[in-house]
Structure 1
Amino acid sequence: MQNLGILGGTFDPIHWGHLLMAETAFSQAALNQVIWVPSRRPPYKVAVEFEHRAQMVQQAIADHPNFVFSPLETNCTRSDYAIHTLLDLQILYPDSRWHWIIGTDAFRTLPRWHRRQELVPACEWLVAPRPEELPIPMDDNRGNLLCQQIVQQLATQDLTIRWQLLKMPKVSISSSLIRQYCRQEQSIRYLVPEAIRVYISTHNLYGGEI
């Protein structure tokens, strides 16, 4: 039985923080693969075209033998929900143990996720600390406390969750920061892989010269 990780997100754009989170999860949880799943129609968000975001993810993970782009044929007529992703992947990868890689910002919203009664117990949750969620000093105790609060909320819904906090540097890079830099014509070099910086500039995805 293989251990598989799922890293879903808008990836608008993908950046070094995403890659570090995936690599930490891959190592810490002894995963066989990390499956990257960009949302085609992310709920509650407006993003650049899926084709651009998908291309950037594929370019960013191309040199990692254990990072794979999602093989799912996403139905573009509906919004993406995590439970749909998991059910579809379970068909494609039977006899697998599933791990969901997630930042603390998204983990806080888990008690409101669609069909969480099915989703939560089906995975082990690998939670990456986000600096904006964990005020200075940022340490594992603060991260564990935040996660325990979510665990308690889920318990009130009769949900038990398996989880662990990823031990990784707190990287203050976000997709929103990168988009802001692009709009302000500030350099994003070293915030994203060079291939992604060139792609964004070539296609003028977020405006400005970068």
Structure 2
Amino acid sequence: MKNKILIFGGTFNPIHNGHLILAEHCINEEGFDKVVFIPTMNPYYKDTLDFDTRLKMLKMAIKDNDKFAYSSIEKRYNLEGKLYLILEKISKLSDDDITILIGSDSLMNLDWWYEKEKLLKKYKFLVLKRDESDKIINEKINEYEKKYSAYIKILDNKRIDISSSDIRDMIKNKKDIKYLAADKVYKYIKEENLYV
């Protein structure tokens, strides 16, 4: 029987408890067998820590959960910004049932993604609601369902107001982030003086 795998991509700069709670929610409520975190390389439009430091924190955060995994596939094959090629590589390695988790902001920008049509025709999407209205999200989903027979489902989740940018700002302003990130990540950030 195929495993249900959720692909959770992001800069994870840094990974925080909101990410972990969301991933666990997807396992509990949507029936995924595993969540695979895929950190992106350094996007040109964001000021991020280097890939290896972010990956190290990600490994620390998910180490104790056997339903969480990670992949450095984007860096290994130099596939920055090419989700379709990343998923094709993963699909060749296994025949698992793959779904991609994206925010509603990303859904609204899918028209500019690499190989958007192939992505929507071949892979399932789970959408995390952010600031966009239900009406706008549903209109976009209906458009893709009609055009590409896309499978797009909105995640029924409680919004968790923790963001990596808030954490970085708190650190810069000498505020404690103790309960916002996993203990090991919290200690590592303090020890390495990150984000100051």
Question: TM-score, normalised to structure 2's length?
Answer: 0.89
Task: Report the CA distance between 1:34 and its aligned residue.
Answer: 1.0
AA paired with 1:125?
F
Structure 1 outlier segments of 4+, above 6 Å? none
2:150 is matched with: 161
Query: In structure 2, do the counterparts of structure 1 residues 76 and 99 end up closer, same or farther at CA, with 3 Å as the change threshold?
Result: closer
Q: Show the 5 A alignment for 1:47-86.
A: 47-70=48-71, 72=73, 74-75=75-76, 79-86=80-87
Q: Show the 5 A alignment for 1:43-192.
A: 44-70=45-71, 72=73, 74-75=75-76, 79-93=80-94, 95-130=95-130, 133=131, 142-143=133-134, 145-154=135-144, 158-192=147-181
2:18 is matched with: 17
Task: Report the CA distance between 1:78 and its aligned residue.
Answer: 5.6
Task: Report the CA distance between 1:48 and its aligned residue.
Answer: 0.4
User: In structure 2, the residue corresponding to 1:47 is in which secondary structure?
Assistant: coil
Q: Deviations over 1:9-37 (max 9, x none)?
A: 10001111111221122223211211110
AA paired with 2:103?
G
- 8 Å contact from structure 1 (residues 9, 38) kept in 2: yes
User: In structure 2, the residue corresponding to 1:98 is in which secondary structure?
Assistant: strand
Task: Report the CA distance between 1:150 and its aligned residue.
Answer: 2.0
Query: In structure 2, do the counterparts of structure 1 residues 24 and 181 end up closer, same or farther at CA, with 3 Å as the change threshold?
Result: same
Root-mean-square deviation (Å)? 2.1
- 8 Å contact from structure 1 (residues 127, 165) kept in 2: yes
Task: Report the CA distance between 1:57 and its aligned residue.
Answer: 0.8
Task: Report the CA distance between 1:204 and its aligned residue.
Answer: 1.5
Question: TM-score, normalised to structure 1's length?
Answer: 0.83
Task: Report the CA distance between 1:75 and its aligned residue.
Answer: 3.9
State the identity as a percent: 28
Task: Report the CA distance between 1:169 and its aligned residue.
Answer: 1.5
Could you say which structure has the higher helix fraction? Answer: 2
Query: In structure 2, do the counterparts of structure 1 residues 73 and 117 end up closer, same or farther at CA, with 3 Å as the change threshold?
Result: closer
State the distance in 1 between where 2:123 and 2:74 align.
22
User: In structure 2, the residue corresponding to 1:173 is in which secondary structure?
Assistant: coil
AA paired with 1:147?
I
State the distance in 1 between where 2:92 and 2:77 align.
19
- 8 Å contact from structure 1 (residues 41, 76) kept in 2: no
Query: Gaps (5+ residues) in structure 2?
Result: none
Q: Deviations over 1:97-134 (max 9, x none)?
A: 1100122222222222111111122222111223xx05
Question: Which piece of structure 1 moves more, 35-44 or 56-65?
Answer: 35-44
State the distance in 2 between where 1:123 and 1:25 align.
17
Question: Which piece of structure 1 moves more, 43-52 or 61-70?
Answer: 43-52
Q: How many residues are aligned here?
A: 195
State the distance in 1 between where 2:172 and 2:77 align.
28
Task: Report the CA distance between 1:152 and its aligned residue.
Answer: 4.1
Question: Is residue 31 of structure 2 the alignment partner of residue 41 of structure 1?
Answer: no
